[in-house]
Structure 1
Amino acid sequence: MQIETPPTERSSPKPDGERRGLVLVHTGDGKGKSTAAFGLALRAHGRGKPVHIYQFMKVPSARFGEHRVFAQLGLPIEGLGDGFSWKSRDLDHSAQLAREGWARAAARISAGEHFLVVLDEIMYPLRYGWIPLDEVLRTLRERPSHVHVVLTGRQAPQELRELADTVTEMRAEKHHFQAGVPAQRGIED
């Protein structure tokens, strides 16, 4: 590691634009997309801002670590699906759940009552054609100007990347699965 001298002056100009709601996309094959979105939700909630989290692939009765702590904090998190497609018993039903969930999420975004809305794992139902991309893009474009929206999941479509204000591509450099270490509660949930 190379030791550096700490900077004593700002290295980039201070933005002078107007504050407004942002569209943030966390995508890529690396770990941390949902975790980053949840971190933003916690930050906003900690500032007293209204936040709502939708999880498109989790069941409504899910009790993963994030559900437990968000319940303790009074931060709403809502499972909209019936699990990942390879676990589904009825993909038509899974698609219907995604459409119904999207209708709820779109209404919440459009209502403008929340500072931040998280659409966790929305890329799966988008890629499967269960939710029309055009509807999502239209809702994001037409949302009230103060509403921030975070969308997560692998393989974000190019149209969404172009619309977004910030796109972060998570890339795995090394992953414990490659060494045969399975998922662990408290790390992957």
Structure 2
Amino acid sequence: MTDRNTRHKAAMEKLKSHVDDKVAQATEERGQLLVFTGNGKGKTTAAWGTITRALGYGYKVGVIQFIKGLWECGERERLAEDANLEVHAMTTGFTWDTQNRDADTAACQAVWQQAQRLMRDDSVYLVVLDELTYMVKFGYLPLEEVMTALENRPAEQTVIITGRNANREIVACADTVTEMSEIRHGFNHGLKARRGIDF
């Protein structure tokens, strides 16, 4: 047991030294671009977790919800009264329900105007563009417009983009990219989305 404890202590000392070095090297302070992508569940949930964190410190947050905007959202319901939270949702709901490219494009463009306004406002600490990846993929938003807005936003502003199949150019300029992999999803085995768990 003594040998095991000695080895454990040595390993932890080595780990601490490594972590301390990484912390010491991280000296740049600015807003970031985070991308939560992949086929796994939890991209929007992760974004709402970060929204809650930012609001907890009293920062202003703007959220643009593409595609899922008309769905119930427990996080949005819980945080709606926070004066520092501004939410705009695309009014057509799921694009596979509407099946109307012109209407979906118009709805996307309308809510994108709000996103651009938020991304020009240096008092907004965090902007979440939920499911933006689909808007680019389907051609509702020109990639060039999105990239320009990202590049010209205030230096201290962080943006989170969520959704599957994130565009390569967006991924390439992101500071942090998290890909959520699906190992198993209950929905694919007949489990209905559960209120308070899935939305």
Establish whether TM, by shorter chain, passes 0.5.
yes
Q: 1:5 to 1:176 in 2, by over 3 A?
A: farther
Deviation at 1:89, TM superposition (A): 5.4
Structure 1 residue aligned with 2:37, among 4, 27, 30? 27
Q: 1:138 aligned to 2:145?
A: no
Equivalent in the alignment of 1:11: 18
Q: Secondary structure at the match of 2:34?
A: strand
Segment drifting more, 174-183 vs 114-123: 174-183
Q: 1:91 to 1:125 in 2, by over 3 A?
A: same
Q: 1:94 aligned to 2:101?
A: no
- After TM superposition, the structure 1 = structure 2 runs for residues 20-169 of structure 1, keeping only pairs within 5 Å, are 20-59=30-69, 62-74=71-83, 75-88=85-98, 90-169=100-179
Q: 1:62 to 1:178 in 2, by over 3 A?
A: closer
Q: Secondary structure at the match of 1:76?
A: strand
* Count of matched residue pairs: 185
Q: 1:188 aligned to 2:187?
A: no
Assess if the C-alpha contact under 8 Å between 1:70 and 1:76 holds in 2: no
Equivalent in the alignment of 1:173: 183
Structure 2 stretches lacking a partner, 5+ long: 1-6
Whichever of the two has the greater Rg, that structure is 2
User: Deviations 1:144-173 (Å, cap 9, x if unpaired)?
Assistant: 100100000000000000011111001011
- Distance in 2 separating the partners of 1:97 and 1:19: 35
Q: TM-score, normalised by structure 1?
A: 0.90
**Aligned residues: CA RMSD:** 1.8
Moved over 3 A (4+): none
- Distance in 2 separating the partners of 1:132 and 1:39: 28
Assess if the C-alpha contact under 8 Å between 1:62 and 1:79 holds in 2: no
